[in-house]
Amino acid sequence: MDKPLSPSPLDEARTKPRKAKRVLILANPTATSFRMQNITEIVTCLEAAGMKVELKLTERASEIAETCADPDLNSDILAVAGGDASVSDAASTLLARGMKPHLAIIPSGTANILAHELNVPRTPQEIAKTIIAGKTQKLHNGYANGRPFFLSTSTGFDAEMVHVVPLRLKRRYGRLAYLFIAAQLAFSRRKGNFKVQADGEELNCAMALITNSQYYAGTHRVVPHASILEKQLHLLTFKDDSAWALFKYACRLLTGTVSKSPNVECRNIKTARIEAYRAAAVQIDGEPFGGTPLEVSVGDCELTVISG
């Protein structure tokens, strides 16, 4: 009688059950559009697909970065349920790890620009399907005064607005809070005056925005050809920041034509240094971050993110 053939290693690999993917969901319950019911539904869908899911609700602002930096972090996917600031904190820390877990986004904030860039859906079931599918892309970043940023950094009017908008107002009214503060600030502030060195060229402007993303303040396009998936930054310099000029910029923002304004110059850059003739506020990814001078450069690392 012939001796039965033993299974080959390839056959064993095919029949061996796959190890369940481990998903850690870090949820910021103070985010503007956070809904616990949505998170619960996502967890249910992921578990139904055979994933091992752990849910952690953060209790303080630094907890997301601390969790991502933990050397004992043992997940295949880290999903952040929060706004752009929460996602940026996680991404900045994961960037330093240079390894898994992959980053996923559950949009729960005010603008959710990163989610828009990555085509992340908004409904719980569709978000869960996106995480289960696991399609990944490489996210690029810039550095602003040594800190990674994934959306934008700026100095001038919009940075001042980010610095002064009350957190309680932002959480209660979302983007309307920024409109209210902008209207007040436009008529009460002193005009900006900046010197910009960009890739060896010197410029002067009233405010400056450096973006890694095509979007700003939600789904409004400021640089239509920009992409967080490309290793390239874009500098917008604004010649005028009077109240009337700011109003016209806002109108152009709604139509996606800011970069076409005669008072705006837009160029691709690798490095920039922005100095103010008097101290000025700086924002990074929609959060206050000290003041000028502002040193910016293209990042040289990539972060694996799950996209739609």
Residue 291 has pLDDT above 80, yes or no: yes
- pTM of structure: 0.85
| Domain tally, the chain | 2
One domain, residues 111 and 197: no
**Chain centroid to CA 114:** 4
One domain, residues 166 and 53: no
Q: How would residue 302 be classed by pLDDT, with cut points 50, 70 and 90? A: confident
Q: Which domain holds residue 35?
A: 11-134
Out of 82, 105, 134, a domain closes at 134
Indicate the helix (H) or strand (E) that contains 177: helix 175-188
Is the residue at 308 inside a domain? Answer: no
pLDDT, mean of residues 269-277: 96
Is the residue at 47 inside a domain? Answer: yes
Q: How would residue 37 be classed by pLDDT, with cut points 50, 70 and 90? A: very high
Q: What is the pLDDT of residues 7-32, one digit of tens each?
A: 543 344 344 445 679 999 999 998 88
**DSSP type of residue 214:** S
One domain, residues 112 and 242: no
Q: What is the pLDDT of residues 127-174, one digit of tens each?
A: 999 999 999 999 999 999 999 999 999 999 999 998 988 777 776 777
Task: Select the more confidently predicted residue: 152 or 219.
Answer: 152
Q: How would residue 99 be classed by pLDDT, with cut points 50, 70 and 90? A: low
